[in-house]
Structure 1
Amino acid sequence: MKILYFGGQKSGKSNLAEQKTLEISSKKPYYLATYDNSFNDKEMHKRIDKHKLQRKEQFTTIEESKDLIKVLSKSKKEDTFLVDCMSMWLFNNIKQNEEYLINQLEEISKLDANIIFVLNDVNSGIIPFDSESRKFVDMTGIVGQKLAQICDEVYEVKLGLASRLK
């Protein structure tokens, strides 16, 4: 089963995705953390620490910022993964072309494991002035569409409430 939770910043998507992951897993699930710690961003470290406290010891954490296939391709049918978050994965791979990103998602779609994805919704605002930000917003939309296509369930999250779209 593949599931997508998407929403704005601090919408509650990670919390709901964690709950769903624990609900559907038959054994201790994996938390695939995509943040690249090389940025030395203190505010992001606080966010990460909060996520770690929230999930306690209920997950086995694996850190992989760029190559999801490297981790997920080793999965077994009974495995469950929470990928938090696809926006960070996209940011870390922003120099890659669209084909590379879509190919990774297509490979992931073929895997016989439960995978829950978290994605930030950044496509409802204005068109950014700089080209890098525009590329990130555009690619977030493209990646989001591909994830929605390959997922069995899709939830939009606002104010901690999930609306099922698929």
Structure 2
Amino acid sequence: MKILYFGGQKSGKSSLAEKKALEISTNKPYYIATYDNSYDDKEMKKRVNRHKEQREKKFTTIEEAYDLTKVVKEKETFLVDCISMWIFNNLEKQEQELINQLEELEKIDCNIVFVLNEVTSGVIPFDKNSRKFVDLTGIIGQKLAKICDEVYEVKFGLESRLK
């Protein structure tokens, strides 16, 4: 089963995605953390630590910022938090490379719960990298919505099932 949770920052999507991953897992699920810690961003380190504390010992954490296909395996449950960071880490890659990676994940017989930040509802950004990030987020979001069995939009901690 493939499931997508998307919403704005601090909408509650990670908490709901964690709950869902635990519900559908028969074993201890894997938490794929996509944040690349090489940026030396103290604010993000605090967020990462908060997420680690939140999931405590319920998940086995795997840190993979670039190639999700390297860590996802058959018959297990994975929570990917978050696809937005994965997109950011892979901005230099071509759109099709990222889509190909998602298509490979789709073929694997496992549960994956994806988390994606909704950033496509604003204005078109002025700078090239921000535009590419927003565009890729929309394209990747569409692809995930297509391949996922369930899709949830999250606002203020409330989920609405779209698919």
TM-score range, shorter chain: over 0.9
1:139 to 122, 136, 140: 136
Task: Point out 4+ residue stretches in structure 1 off by more than 4 angstroms.
Answer: none
1:101 paired to 2:98: yes
Task: Please tell me the root mean square deviation across aligned C-alpha atoms, in Å.
Answer: 0.4
1:83-103 per-residue CA deviation (whole Å, 9 max, x = no partner) reads 000000000000001110100
For 2:71 and 2:21, locate their aligned partners in 1 and report how far apart those are by CA, in whole Å.
17
1:114-133 alignment runs, 5 A limit: 114-133=111-130
Partner of residue 76, structure 1 = 74
CA distance in 2, matches of 1:110, 1:76: 10
Instruction: Kindly provide the amino acid, as one letter, of the partner of residue 19 in structure 1.
Output: K
Which whole-Å deviations, capped at 9, do the CAs of 1:55-94 have from their partners, x for residues lacking one? 110000000000001111xx122x1000000000000000
Length-normalised TM-score, structure 2: 0.99
CA displacement 1:10-37 (0-9 Å, x = unmatched)? 0000000000000110010000000000
Matches within 5 A, 1:48-59: 48-59=48-59
Aligned to 1:2: 2
Q: 3-state DSSP class of the match of 1:62?
A: strand
Which residue, out of 74, 80, 85, partners 2:82? Answer: 85
Which runs of no fewer than 5 residues in structure 1 stay unpaired?
A: none
Tell me the TM-score normalised to structure 1 length.
0.97
Aligned amino acid, residue 144 of structure 2 = L
**CA distance in 2 between partners of 1:48 and 1:19 (Å):** 18
Residue in 1 aligned with 2:154? 157
What's 2:43 paired with? Answer: 43
| Aligned-pair identity (%) | 72
Q: C-alpha separation between the residues in 2 aligned to 1:131 and 1:76?
A: 38
Q: 1:23 is matched by which residue type in structure 2?
A: E
Unaligned runs of 5+ residues in structure 2 are none
- Which whole-Å CA distance do the structure 2 matches of 1:6 and 1:153 have between them? 11
Name the SS for the 2:112 alignment partner: strand
